Chain A
């Protein structure tokens, strides 16, 4: 069994047009939460549906307030959304039984193919598509943006790696005399390399944990700000478990390599040269 839902966008729909009316058993409509908030509407409110302000129309009751979807395609749209029964829509638009687009929800993915075949066979002039296929076609912009983000991420990682390597080299260079003293005391080169690498690894892990913390806080602020600006539940910034794991592992790997390179360079220098003699 299929459920037929038709969505109608009414950009010019003003709260003034939605005056409360009396009448028996009015039909229900669903409005989105943005319209509810802006027009001060609540569940059970009675409205008059009309395409012309000031003209009496069909009396309806708000049966549901729908949370907006977290859809990036809808961010820049300031429109309101109202769901109404098909007959109400036909009456409102004066289109009769003419429709441009409609969506069919199926109970399972297996039924989708059959539904598409039946619609394409039966409805001349219509072409049915899977929503997933339409999503792929309409999301190319986001795919490009995503690639940009990935490129920025790669550049950030490369820059961070160079920065970390420089920091480690500087930190180890600061210890030239300490390392020289250790070598003179008889501490072996492998022991010194191990201790430097261990320290570098600890610094890298602690740094990455701190970075994840800062990233999480920044992400929270970004989401709060832009969700308020665009009035959408969409999450603009994500710090997922995979990202945290990648950050920690990458940082650990870079830290170990940077520490090893710096320490190896240092222990290959004769102790007297490290003392500047």
Chain B
């Protein structure tokens, strides 16, 4: 791990997640422990069904573990109730999805303003922040465009800007290049690298080897366990 890495942002200890499938109990995660420090750019890779999305859901406070603990920026989040977990996600975690999930009726700028509005940011400040982020992702001229008027790469850039709206401690991305062609995927990889270079802590789950190679640390999973913790670059 790099000596330059900062304080722990993600601390996962002995994490177990089991699902009931009829009379059977299936363990999606079998005692996973690892730490991601501030400023890291980590990829979680592994074959389908190895538990990487389950791990991302637990880090993202979307799901609760069967056992074990998850701390984000020093706060235990593994047993938060629905309302507190929602608020935590709003303020501390940014999500980037494979399929963007922008609101079709809203413009690019309004999509970015959405989490800011929920956080109680005033209108003028929301607009300024959204425009700053649109400029950051290179879409300032597309602020009034609706998702249907944007290309896949542009939609994903808006989604990234939306994820960054409330200045989260951690940016989580689930197959962020999965819906993009190779050229647009490369642009997205460059954007993630720039984000990380500017201090954003990023954890991506991906099958994309190009994206994984572009990160500073690759965590390998197999059958619900981490088989290689990777080395922070």
Across the interface, which residues of B come within 8 angstroms of A177, CB to CB? Answer: 99, 101
Name B113-149 residues within 8 Å CB distance of A: 114-115, 118-119
Residues 240-277 of chain A: 1 if any B CB is under 8 Å from the residue's CB, otherwise 0?
00000000000000000000000000000001100001
B62 & A187 in contact (Cβ 8 Å cutoff): no
Is B86 interfacial (CB 8 A cutoff)? yes
Q: In the complex, what's the smallest C-beta–C-beta distance from A243 to chain B, in angstroms?
A: 32
Known: A271-B62, A272-B57. A187 touches B115 (CB 8 A): yes
Inside 8 A of B13's CB, which chain A residues have their CB?
none
Are A186 and B87 in contact, with the CB atoms below 8 A?
Answer: yes
Looking at B57, B86, B118, B166, which has the most chain A CB atoms within 10 Å of its CB?
Answer: B86
Contact B86 A188, beta carbon cutoff 8 Å: yes
- Chain A 170-209 per-residue mask, 1 if CB under 8 angstroms from chain B, else 0: 0000000110111111111101000000000000000000
Which chain A residues border B227 with CB–CB below 8 Å?
Answer: none
Report 14 cross-chain contacts, Cβ distance below 8 Å, ordered by A residue.
A178-B101, A178-B103, A184-B60, A185-B89, A185-B162, A186-B86, A186-B90, A186-B115, A186-B118, A186-B166, A187-B86, A187-B114, A188-B83, A272-B62
Whole-angstrom distance between the Cβ of A55 and the nearest chain B Cβ: 82
Residues on B facing A (Cβ under 8 Å): 53, 57, 60, 62-63, 82-83, 86-91, 93, 95, 97, 99, 101, 103-104, 114-115, 118-119, 162-163, 166
Q: Is the CB of B87 within 8 A of A184?
A: no
Roughly how many angstroms separate A188 CA and B81 CA in the complex, as a whole number? Answer: 12
Cα A184 to Cα B82 with chains together (Å): 11
Alpha-carbon separation in the docked complex, A191 to B90 (Å): 13
Residue of A whose beta carbon sits closest to that of B115: A185
A interface with B by C-beta (< 8 Å)? 177-178, 180-189, 191, 271-272, 277
A60 CB, nearest partner CB in chain B, Å:
74
Q: Is the CB of A186 within 8 A of B101?
A: no
A277 to B114, CA, bound (A): 25
Residue from the list A178, A180, A183, A277 in contact with B86, Cβ < 8 A = A183
Chain B residues, CB < 8 A from A181: 95, 97, 101
Sort A-B residue pairs by CB-CB distance and give the 5 closest, nearest first. Answer: A186-B90, A181-B101, A186-B89, A184-B95, A187-B118
Find chain A residues with CB under 8 A from B162 CB: 185
Q: A189 contacts which of B53, B57, B82, B99 (Cβ < 8 Å)?
A: B82
Q: What is the minimal beta-carbon distance from A203 to any residue of chain B, in angstroms?
A: 12
Shortest Cβ gap from A253 to chain B (Å)? 24
Inter-subunit contact A186/B62 (CB<8 Å): no
Q: How far is the CA of A271 from the CA of B89 in the complex (A)?
A: 13
State in angstroms the CA–CA spacing of A181 and B29 once bound together.
Answer: 24
C-alpha gap A204/B97 in the complex (Å)? 33
| Contact assessment for B57 and A185 in the assembled complex, using a CB-CB cutoff below 8 Å | no
Q: Which residue of A lies closest to B159 (CB)?
A: A181
- Give Cα A180–Cα B89 distance, bound, in whole angstroms: 13
Residue of A nearest to B97 (CB): A181
> In the assembly, what is the distance between CA of A185 and CA of B95, in Å?
6
Residues in A neighbouring B83, C-beta threshold 8 A: 188-189
Residues of B within 8 A of A186 (CB): 86-91, 93, 115, 118-119, 166
The interface residues of chain B lying within 8 Å CB-to-CB of A185 are 89-90, 95, 114-115, 162-163
A188 to B103, CA, bound (A): 16
Expressed in whole angstroms, the Cα–Cα distance for A136 and B41 within the complex equals: 87
CB distance from B81 to the nearest CB of A (A): 12
Contacts of B104 in A (CB 8 A): 178
In chain A, what residue has the closest Cβ to B99?
A177
Are the CB atoms of A188 and B87 closer together than 8 Å?
A: yes
Chain A positions within 8 Å of B87 at CB level: 186, 188
Can you name 6 extra interface pairs (CB under 8 A) apart from A186-B86, A188-B86, A189-B82?
A: A177-B99, A186-B93, A187-B118, A191-B118, A272-B57, A272-B62
Report the minimal beta-carbon distance from A71 to chain B, rounded to whole angstroms: 53
Closest to B85 in A: A186
B118 close to A272 (CB less than 8 A): no
Task: Output the least CB separation between B98 and chain A (Å).
Answer: 11
Please give the distance in Å from A35's CB to the nearest CB on chain B.
63
Shortest beta-carbon distance from B150 to chain A in Å:
16
B53, A277: Cβ atoms closer than 8 Å: yes
Residues of A near B95 (CB, < 8 A) are: 181, 184-185
Contacts of A184 in B (CB 8 A): 60, 62, 89, 95, 97
- Tell me how far the C-beta of A3 lies from the nearest C-beta in chain B, rounded to whole angstroms: 68
Which residue of the partner chain A has the closest CB to B162? A185
